[in-house]
């Protein structure tokens, strides 16, 4: 929505708590064509004054669907796994103050929220917290926060690259603000793009369209008030403008979305209906040649209403059409410039004026076929679904898959890994496996069944083979290098058995214990100098690993060194928290602790003490080596 607050007529709606079919052009009090009302929540149900953006999240664990609804004072979360009886789970309050503009997107089970509220920044919320809500509605706290900008009109996320793009921020002339969110709880700013000035909304994706010059590049398509900017943002340190696309009778280039073949970019201009007096206009730009984008066609709707956000799904284009509600266009013949309206659901029945009220956003991407419509100001949230009766089963196509066990001897296989190109005539379906978790007992071939379910509940199945492999070698850990002296009265040192005394340990992800060999063997007599002792292990599948230590043989320790070593004691050992180091004969001046790989994880120097306590409660379980005064090394075990 353009940053204008205009007078509007506030309509009052009641909560619909049961499915209302679209019958003779009406679903209760709402005009409709081809879409049934599943349920409706009023804006007051969220203890809010106005609504704005919306998005969706499907829990990969159980397939449950959730709506993320932006309201003036926060972000509301709604469970619509039963779309006729939605459950308002709670709200993440705004980071600073209330605002009419809030936007939310999803990456890797986290929600990212921005707002035009001053100083708001970007909130990060772990959506898995919605799985078990004991007493809804709850008031949530953010899990992380990014303050690289203050206000932001919108947030765009490329889920394939793990980057978020703040647009309309108070940085980079209002252009793209790059944020690496691959670690969602630790977002990192990585510059931005200011060359095309203010961006109101955008789409960012890894390009796979007809212009092969840019295949595999990350492209940013910005709706920039009076043009569409095509920017290559593959290199965040050097974003490059490819081209700018324009069209006639422009007033405010608001938002746009690619067709699924990435040949066309469909644009909505938010103010042209008001400024020029024509019906809702949808502009189609031909992006076949990204360096030379062309105007392709335009479609005029059936009402004079302002268009807002629009998204493509298959051959359908869903528009949040303010006072005309959701409008769905058939774009199957877009190549020939033919677009037609196939249905609608009007969430603002009071009028069809060109004014800022009614439908703000449509989210059509749930696998169930449920569609979310969020209203600006009054109206709240609507869940609708196509009235069409689909009796055609999807077509399930399987492919075999090789799955490798992880360090814990487990692997989870996603349904999509086994999918070999399943399809449905609706373009929308979900996948599920009868078994998706495997462990060491499943090594080899496993027969599974993939079920494909479309949004009308029609199903098809196919069989696949998942071959589970263990390709991880055992993890073997050696003690630190050491210096030793001749045996008493001898001119050699007898090599001990490090395996029997558990100084060397090997752990496998599947089969324990695993055998370890020591070379040279225990009992070997070592002369003066350095000797490499090699330890090797191998699991049942031939996965091998090794480690070694160097033993330096000296004639004998000096009396002072010998006395210092014998006077060192560490207790308790093993320990889970505090260890105490005592030196009977000399002060302790320094302490180092190394893990089994030789990495130093603790250092304390400039000490003068006969004893010292160390808290090892935060250490991982395992074997460690303590060096005192850079002279004596002792082994400790953390359990």
Digit-coded pLDDT (tens) for 36-45: 999 999 999 9
**Residues 6 or more apart whose Cβ sits within 8 Å of residue 347:** 30, 325, 326, 358, 359, 373, 375, 379, 382
Is 391's pLDDT higher than 90? no
Q: Is the pLDDT of residue 4 over 70?
A: no
Residue 599 has pLDDT above 50, yes or no: yes
- Given a cut of 80, whether residue 532 has pLDDT beyond it is yes
> Is residue 152 very low, low, confident or very high in pLDDT (cuts 50, 70, 90)?
very high
Half-sphere exposure (Cβ direction) of 181: Cα atoms closer than 13 Å: 33
Domain 472-556: give its CATH code: 2.60.40.10
pLDDT band at 567 (very low <50, low <70, confident <90, very high): confident
State the pLDDT at residue 558.
54
Q: What's the whole-number mean pLDDT along residues 332-341?
A: 96
How far is Cα of residue 263 from the mean position of the Cα atoms in its chain?
27
Q: What residues does CATH 2.60.40.10 cover in the chain?
A: 472-556
Between 47 and 568, whose confidence is greater? 47
Mean pLDDT score of the chain: 92
Q: Is 232 left (phi over 0), alpha (psi -120 to 50) or beta?
A: beta
DSSP summary character for residue 450: E
Span(s) in the chain for CATH 2.130.10.10: 30-386
Interatomic CA distance for residues 583 and 563, integer angstroms: 10
Q: What pLDDT is recorded for position 208?
A: 96
The confidence band for 512, taking pLDDT boundaries of 50, 70 and 90, is confident
Cα torsion for 398, 404, 409, 415, to the nearest 10°? -30
Looking at the chain, the whole-number percentage of residues with pLDDT higher than 70 is 96
Angstrom distance (rounded) from CA 581 to CA 614: 8
Q: Give the model confidence (pLDDT) of 257-292 as tens digits.
A: 999 999 999 999 999 999 999 999 999 999 999 999
| Distance in angstroms (rounded) separating the CA atoms of residues 357 and 493 | 89
Residue 13, exposed/middle/buried by CB under 10 A (0-12, 13-18, 19+)?
Answer: buried
Residue 114's pLDDT is 98
CA distance 96 to 90: 18
Class of domain 567-639: mainly beta
Q: What sign has the CA pseudo-torsion 71, 74, 80, 86? A: negative
Return residue ranges of the chain for CATH 2.60.40.3080.
567-639
Question: Is residue 5 very low, low, confident or very high in pLDDT (cuts 50, 70, 90)?
Answer: very low
Tell me which of 1.10.10, 3.10.310, 2.60.40, 1.10.286 is the CATH number of domain 401-469.
Answer: 2.60.40
Lowest mean pLDDT, pick from 335-339, 519-523, 559-563: 559-563
pLDDT at residue 475 greater than cutoff 50: yes
For 209-218, 332-341, 426-435, 502-511, which range has the lowest pLDDT when averaged over its residues? 426-435
pLDDT digits (tens, 9 = 90+) for 63-109: 899 999 999 999 999 999 999 999 999 999 999 999 999 999 999 99
489 pLDDT more than 60: yes
* CA gap 43, 76 in Å, rounded: 10
Which residue in the block uniquely carries the two structure tokens 């004969």? 585
| Selected residue with higher pLDDT from 182 and 12 | 182
CATH of domain 30-386: 2.130.10.10
What are the E-state strand segments in 42-101?
Answer: 51-58, 65-71, 74-79, 87-93
């Amino acid at each position: 929505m353009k940053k204008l607050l205009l007078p509007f007529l506030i309509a009052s709606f009641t909560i619909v708590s049961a499915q209302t079919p679209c019958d003779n052009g009406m679903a209760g009090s709402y005009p409709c064509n081809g879409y049934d009302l599943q349920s409706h929540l009023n804006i007051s149900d969220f203890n809010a004054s106005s609504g704005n953006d919306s998005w969706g999240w499907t829990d990969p664990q159980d397939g449950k669907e959730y709506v993320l609804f932006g309201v003036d004072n926060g972000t509301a979360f709604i469970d619509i796994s039963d779309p006729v009886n939605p459950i308002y789970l709670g709200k993440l309050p705004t980071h600073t103050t209330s605002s009419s503009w809030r936007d939310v997107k999803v990456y890797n089970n986290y929600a990212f929220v921005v707002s035009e509220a001053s100083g708001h920044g970007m909130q990060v919320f772990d959506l898995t917290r919605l799985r078990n809500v004991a007493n809804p509605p709850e008031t949530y706290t953010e899990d992380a926060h990014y303050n690289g900008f203050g206000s932001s009109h919108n947030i765009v996320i490329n889920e394939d690259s793990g980057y978020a793009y703040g647009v309309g921020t108070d940085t980079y002339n209002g252009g793209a603000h790059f944020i690496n969110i691959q670690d969602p709880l630790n977002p990192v700013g990585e510059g931005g793009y200011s060359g095309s000035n203010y961006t109101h909304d955008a789409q960012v994706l890894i390009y796979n369209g007809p212009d092969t010059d840019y295949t595999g590049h990350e492209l940013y398509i910005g709706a920039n008030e009076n043009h569409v900017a095509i920017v290559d943002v593959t290199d965040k340190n050097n974003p490059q403008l490819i081209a700018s696309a324009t069209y006639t009778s422009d007033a405010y280039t608001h938002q746009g979305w690619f067709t699924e073949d990435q040949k066309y970019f469909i644009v909505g201009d938010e103010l042209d209906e008001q400024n020029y007096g024509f019906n809702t206009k949808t502009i189609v730009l031909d992006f076949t040649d990204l360096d030379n984008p062309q105007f392709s066609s335009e479609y005029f709707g059936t009402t004079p209403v302002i268009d807002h956000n629009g998204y493509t799904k298959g051959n359908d284009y869903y528009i949040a059409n303010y006072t005309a509600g959701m409008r769905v266009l058939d774009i199957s013949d877009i190549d020939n410039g033919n677009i037609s309206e196939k249905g609608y659901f009007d969430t603002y029945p009071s009028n069809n004026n060109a004014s800022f009220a009614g439908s703000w956003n449509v989210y059509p991407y749930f696998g169930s076929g449920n569609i979310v419509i969020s209203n600006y100001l009054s109206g709240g949230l609507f869940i609708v679904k196509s009235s069409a009766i689909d009796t055609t089963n999807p077509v399930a196509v399987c492919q075999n898959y090789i799955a490798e066990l992880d360090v814990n001897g487990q692997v989870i296989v996603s349904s999509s890994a086994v999918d070999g190109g399943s399809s449905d005539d609706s373009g929308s379906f979900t996948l599920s496996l009868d078994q998706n978790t495997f462990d060491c007992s499943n090594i080899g071939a496993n027969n599974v069944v993939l079920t494909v379910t479309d949004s009308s509940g029609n199903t098809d199945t196919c069989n696949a083979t998942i071959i589970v492999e263990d390709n991880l070698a055992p993890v073997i850990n050696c003690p630190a290098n050491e210096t030793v002296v001749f045996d008493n009265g001898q001119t050699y040192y007898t090599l001990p058995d490090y395996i029997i005394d558990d100084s060397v340990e090997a752990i496998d992800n599947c089969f324990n214990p695993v055998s370890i060999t020591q070379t040279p063997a225990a009992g070997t007599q070592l002369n003066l100098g350095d000797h490499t002792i090699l330890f090797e292990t191998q699991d049942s599948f031939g996965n091998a690993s090794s480690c070694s230590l160097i033993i330096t043989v000296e004639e004998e320790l000096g009396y002072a060194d010998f006395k210092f070593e014998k006077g060192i004691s560490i207790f308790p050992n093993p320990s889970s928290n505090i260890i105490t180091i005592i030196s009977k004969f000399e002060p302790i001046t320094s302490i180092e602790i190394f893990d089994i790989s030789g990495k130093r994880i603790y250092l304390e120097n400039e000490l003068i003490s006969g004893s010292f306590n160390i808290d090892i409660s935060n250490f991982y379980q395992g074997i460690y080596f303590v060096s005192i005064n850079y002279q004596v090394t002792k082994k400790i075990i953390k359990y």
